Chains A and B, each alone.
Chain A
Amino acid sequence: MTESSAAFVRRDMLPPQAPPATQAGVLKWLRENLFSSPLNAVLTLAGAYVVWWLVAHSYPWLSHSVWNAGSLSECRAIIAERWGADATGACWAVIKERWHQYIFGFYPPELYWRPISVFLLLFVALAPVLFSAVPRVLLVFTVVYPFLATWLLWGGSPWIEVMILVGFVLGWAAFRIASRYGSLLAVSVALAVPALWWVFAAGPMDRALEQAIRLAIEKVASDKFGGFLLAVTIGVGGIAMSLPLGILLALGRRSDMFLIKALSVGFIEFIRGVPLITLLFVASLLLNYFLPPGTNFDIILRVEILVTLFAAAYIAEVVRGGLAALPRGQYEAADSLGLDYWKAQRLIILPQALKISIPGIVSTFIGMFKDTTLVVFVGLFDPLKGISDFVRADFNWKGIYWEPYIFVGCIFFLFNFSMSRYSMYLENKLKRDHR
């Protein structure tokens, strides 16, 4: 067969035909994802109606936003002037004027750098805990951070914090030295040395150092704390302080010793069985009953104590989950190496258990952070209701409701959403590590 004998020979391939309209592009996507069955079509239409309804009701209000005004009535006048007498609009001017109170409460404005740097340093302190790529040396900073933060936030002389820190360092050193002569001796020395230091030496040393080297910065009283500064202080402080107690409770709950187990279970179940708000009332109304007559410290510290106990019970359950998830072989391996209980926990069990508990701890923190809004019921200025009520007590801003709620809600959402995403990422990563 020669080429010329054929009337027509196709030398190249036909270009592929475009698929039928229903099988391509937007239409295909629509069919597959929105209208794959009658039920789905109904659901889609219902969903679209909900979206339309939400947009139709919020868009006019949001589009009529006013950012520059001195009072709510001024806002309303501007909205009426620009968009007609019947128009409603958002008055974000209140946020523009009062944002600093939502963030810092009544903290002196010239000292805002202090809470800001404390907040930024928090990430430096957390980095070695959260990311394994960060050099281990930074862990020292993680240990120092709580004391640094306390000093920066409340001001005054730093020597008190230094003295407390020195107590811990002394205790640790004593433990290391004494552990050569037996673990019981080591534990008792590790408890006794810091106690003696704090009671007898810390006070005079503090005064002496304060005389010698003056490092005092301006004091800020607790009643100046408010807004997100208060929420973050209570939330982060509560979780950080509750970790040691929570770990002990978790170990106690898994202990073979009946009494230890009973006490741990009793404490955990009691705390988890009552609402946080009743514990806050204990902080505000009852704590002074339980302490020696005449003891008095301010409400933020009392709330912090109860929040710590509250968080400890939840952390204990998270850590218990981590301990339970460890394969039995790890415990047996530790036993077979001849490690005693504390060494086994410290060197083998806890490092692994805590690592897999981090997502749970982050979730507990998110819960805690949301719950810090409840402190308004004991007279503190939380960002949601305390500060908003205070702003509304001003004649200029009486009757403003939605804007503060939306503003505060957005900040809470940003914080918590990013933390929960991080915790999910971590969970996935840890899952891979174990397989």
Chain B
Amino acid sequence: MHMVTVSDAPEPGFRLSQLIYDTRYRSLTIQVVVFMLFVASTAWLVDNTVRNLSAMGKDFNFGFLWNRAGYDIGQMLIPYSNDSTHARAMLVGLLNTLLVSALGCIAATIIGVFVGVLRLSKNWLVGRLMTVYVEVFRNVPLLLWILIVYAIFTEVMPAPNAYRIDPATGEAAMSALLFDSIAPTNRYTAIPSIRFDRPLGSLDLGWITLSGTFLGFVAAVAAGVWANSVVRRRAVAVQNATGVRPTTWWKSVLLLTVPAVVVLVATGFHLNLPTLKGFNFTGGTNVSNSLVVLWLALTLYTGAFIAEIVRAGILAVSRGQTEAAYALGLRPGRTMSLVILPQALRVIVPPLISQFLNLTKNSSLAIAVGYMDLRGTLGGITLNQTGRELEAILLMMLIYLAISLIISGLMNIYNNSVKLKER
């Protein structure tokens, strides 16, 4: 068998100078040089760290996480006592960070949307008020807002004692709000706690114990949402086929509420009202003021930024869209929900994600109000009691980084789904 070979142009010998002057090789050369510099500087940093550690007689070891923590935490979502380990304390802190961030993101979005829309309103007074709110909150450090809200809560709210009924007069200086269910005080806000007479047991995962009741509730709601989406899809199919959309709203309402209510009734759900006993309220849930203050300050501060984002997003949708929607005979409400908002969302979502990230990172200012978040436990008391600053701070940074990457990852998935489909 014989093959005809096509010979290339005569190969000039490879010269060393090609590494620099030939664009085919130059980028490779630069990358190799940069890589070597990077490795060298990393090695330099690591070597310094090792030498510094050995000079101090310390080692690099995460074993301290399994030692007894020995301190108490005021606000916790999972069981914890001072006999638990530092790792457990870290988990409590992480959950607290996530709690205040999640609550903050939700509330800040609500405030941001309202203020952003109201700022565009033709109402002179309301428009001005919203502008003042946005400018004042955006241009003053967050730390100041945290301190001010903190001061308001400690100075203005009454002590729990004020709710005590004075035996002499038969009246209390303060009475709780909303049928005795919510009592704001200068240490915590007492709210009713959720109780179940017939709980469904619990699922022990070793680290965290999940309540069976909670799982059942979530499952019921999820089933309802799924059934609802099936009903709606069928309605759309019918509409596409016949042009008449069957009424589905009562089915949706039933599907979304009934399963959840059934689970709640079956487990004997009721609210336990807080009552004053001894020094403090008991029976209900006492939400510590550090959480409320931090949440409120983060919400108000981030809400101002989100308001600007929402306003810019709505303004970015051209006026012609509204006019076109009116020309089609859509009512203003439907115009907003079907035409303007879906288009505005595409502009709004990316900066909104970065605001959520900022809020999560800013929650580390919990230090100012003594809220025990990740920085307060792992990067605070644990670091202090064990003297393991290198390990504790590196671990803390990695966790924050992971949270940030997860949030931006999830939000990017959502963003891709609302992105303009270019065809």
Contact = CB atoms under 8 A, between A and B. Distances in A.
A385 B367 CA distance: 12
Contact of A285 (B35, B389, B400, B401): B389
B20 interface: yes
A152 B66 CA distance: 52
Given A277-B364, A285-B393, A412 B140 contact: yes
Contacts of B417: none
Interface in A400-433: 401-402, 405, 408-409, 412-413, 416-417, 420
A257 interface: yes
B143 A293 contact: no
A366 B368 contact: no
Contacts of B31: 257-260
Contacts, number: 146
Contacts of B365: 277, 374
A259 B143 contact: no
B86 interface: no
A330 interface: no
A200 interface: no
A257 B27 contact: yes
From B147, B404, B405, name the one whose CB has the most chain A CB atoms within 10 angstroms.
B147
B27 A286 contact: no
B32 to A, nearest CB: 9
Nearest to A279: B397
Interface string B49-88: 1011101000000000000000000000000000000000
Most buried by A among B35, B48, B55, B141: B141
A385 B124 contact: no
A413 B140 contact: yes
A203 B148 CA distance: 50
Interface string B100-144: 000000000000000000100111111001000001101111111
Contacts of A44: 123, 125-126
Nearest to B129: A47
Contact of B144 (A260, A286, A289, A409): A409
A55 to B, nearest CB: 13
Interface residues of A, number: 57
A377 B30 CA distance: 41
Given A36-B122, A258-B31, A402 B151 contact: yes
A184 B20 contact: yes
B160 interface: no
Contacts of B126: 40, 43-44, 46-47
Interface in A337-367: 366
A36 B364 CA distance: 45
B362 interface: yes
A417 B144 CA distance: 16
Given A40-B122, A260-B34, A420 B139 contact: yes
Interface in A366-413: 366, 370-371, 373-374, 376-377, 384-385, 401-402, 405, 408-409, 412-413
Interface string A265-300: 000011011111110011001101111110000000
B38 A275 contact: no
A274 B365 CA distance: 13
B284 interface: no
Given A273-B401, A385-B147, A377 B121 contact: no
Nearest to B154: A401
Interface in A20-51: 32-34, 36, 40, 43-44, 46-48, 50-51
Given A50-B129, A401-B151, A43 B123 contact: yes
A293 B393 contact: no
B interface: dominant SS: helix
A278 B151 contact: no
Nearest to B50: A289
A282 B397 CA distance: 10
Interface residues of B, number: 53
B390 interface: yes
B143 A384 contact: yes
A103 B336 CA distance: 49
A286 B389 contact: yes
Interface in B387-423: 389-390, 393, 396-397, 400-401, 404-405
B141 A289 contact: no
A420 B121 contact: no
B151 A405 contact: yes
Contacts of B141: 370-371, 373, 384, 412
Contacts of A46: 126
A276 B405 CA distance: 16
Interface string A126-144: 0000000000000000000
A263 interface: yes
Contact of A278 (B122, B124, B364): B364
A184 B126 CA distance: 62
A413 to B, nearest CB: 5
Contact of A34 (B45, B51, B52, B125): B125
B140 A416 contact: yes
B321 to A, nearest CB: 21
Nearest to A411: B140
B232 interface: no
A256 interface: yes
A278 B375 contact: yes
Contacts of B51: 292-293
Contact of B136 (A33, A274, A405, A413): A413
A306 B307 CA distance: 31
B53 A275 contact: no
Given A259-B35, A263-B34, A34 B123 contact: yes
Contact of A290 (B20, B45, B123, B368): B45
Contacts of A273: 357, 400-401, 404-405
B393 A278 contact: yes
Given A278-B379, A293-B51, A373 B143 contact: yes
Contact of B397 (A34, A278, A370, A402): A278
A360 to B, nearest CB: 12
A48 B30 CA distance: 65
A377 B370 CA distance: 13
Nearest to A252: B34
Contacts of A366: 139
Contacts of B148: 405, 409
Given A405-B151, A417-B135, A290 B49 contact: yes
B152 to A, nearest CB: 10
A222 to B, nearest CB: 22
Contact of A289 (B49, B124, B151): B49
B346 interface: no
Nearest to B128: A47
Interface in B131-178: 135-136, 138-144, 147-148, 151, 155
In the A-B complex, the 4 residue pairs with the smallest Cβ-Cβ separation, listed nearest first, are: A273-B404, A416-B139, A33-B124, A275-B361
Interface of A: 32-34, 36, 40, 43-44, 46-48, 50-51, 184, 256-260, 263, 269-270, 272-278, 281-282, 285-286, 288-293, 366, 370-371, 373-374, 376-377, 384-385, 401-402, 405, 408-409, 412-413, 416-417, 420
26 contacts: A33-B123, A33-B124, A33-B125, A40-B122, A40-B123, A43-B118, A47-B123, A47-B129, A51-B129, A272-B357, A272-B404, A273-B357, A273-B405, A275-B400, A289-B390, A371-B141, A373-B143, A373-B144, A374-B143, A376-B143, A401-B155, A405-B147, A408-B144, A409-B144, A409-B148, A412-B141
Given A34-B125, A43-B123, A281-B379, 6 more contacts: A43-B121, A274-B397, A285-B389, A293-B52, A293-B55, A412-B144
